[in-house]
Amino acid sequence: MDALLNNWKQRATEQQKANKQFLQKLQTKKGRGVEKLLPDLHEEAFSHIDCLQCAGCCKSISPRFKTPDIKRISKYLGMRESVFIETYLRLDEDGDYVVKSSPCPFLGADNYCSIYDARPGDCENYPYTDSYEFVKRPNTTYLNSTICPAVFYVLEKLRDVVK
């Protein structure tokens, strides 16, 4: 594993204020063009990180389940949509469907997802380290840097580039 990832969680916690400031800085001129670096940094991060060794996202946060996700997953599980919603989901403070409990009920003991082939769009796109969402939503990226080692990795690498 890359030296940058040693004790990443502890370092992410210790660097919370600095990370927050850096992400705000990316919103200014100094951050212009940084999104072009993200796909390569994403690939680099995941050459060092195996999600199945972590599953921090599945253990601590919930994706949003949008209508197409609910339809697809219900069909995949052979359930009526209403039964799927009643069994697994609740409405959060933003009015979005999320899982009722953590860890995700579809996460197995081996960190594999039992609905991986039909998973929600949020899961498929997480952790957004290869898209403009990473820069566009600094508060979300900040939170994700304490949950996902790939987000921490990309953030640290960007720090070296954006002074």
pLDDT digits (tens, 9 = 90+) for 16-48: 899 999 999 888 887 788 999 999 999 999 999
Q: Which domain holds residue 25?
A: 3-57+127-161
What pLDDT is stored for residue 3 in this prediction?
A: 67
Residue 151 near residue 145, CB atoms below 8 Å: yes
d(CA 130, CA 39): 4
Judge whether residue 6 has pLDDT over 80.
Answer: no
Residue 2, pLDDT > 70, answer no
What burial letters (b/e) apply to 69-92, b meaning 16+ CB within 10 Å?
bbebbbeebeeeeeebbeebbeee
Confidence at residue 162, expressed as pLDDT on a 0 to 100 scale: 84
Question: Which pLDDT does position 163 carry in this prediction?
Answer: 74
Q: Are residues 70 and 103 in the same domain?
A: yes
Cβ(38)–Cβ(129) below 8 Å: yes
> Does residue 1 have a pLDDT over 60?
no
pLDDT of residue 30: 76
Q: Are residues 96 and 146 in the same domain?
A: no
- Residue 105 CB-density burial (10 A; 0-12 exposed, 13-18 middle, 19+ buried): middle
Residues 121 and 131 in one domain: no
Q: How many domains does one find in the chain?
A: 2
Domain co-membership, 91 together with 113: yes
Query: Rounded mean pLDDT of the chain?
Result: 93
Q: Residues 21, 43: one domain?
A: yes
Q: Say yes or no: 85 and 104 in one domain.
A: yes
Tell me the C-alpha distance between 60 and 71, whole Å: 24
In the chain, the amino acid numbered 84 is F
Instruction: Note whether 143 and 6 are within 8 A (CB).
Output: no
Across 63-92, average pLDDT: 98
pLDDT at residue number 27: 87
Same domain? For 100 and 147 the reply is no
- Same domain as 39, residue 15: yes
Residue 113 pLDDT more than 80?
A: yes
pTM for the predicted model, two decimal places: 0.90
pLDDT tens digits for 118-153?
999 999 999 999 999 999 999 999 999 999 999 999
What's the CA gap between 92 and 94, in Å, rounded? 5
Q: Are residues 99 and 139 in the same domain?
A: no
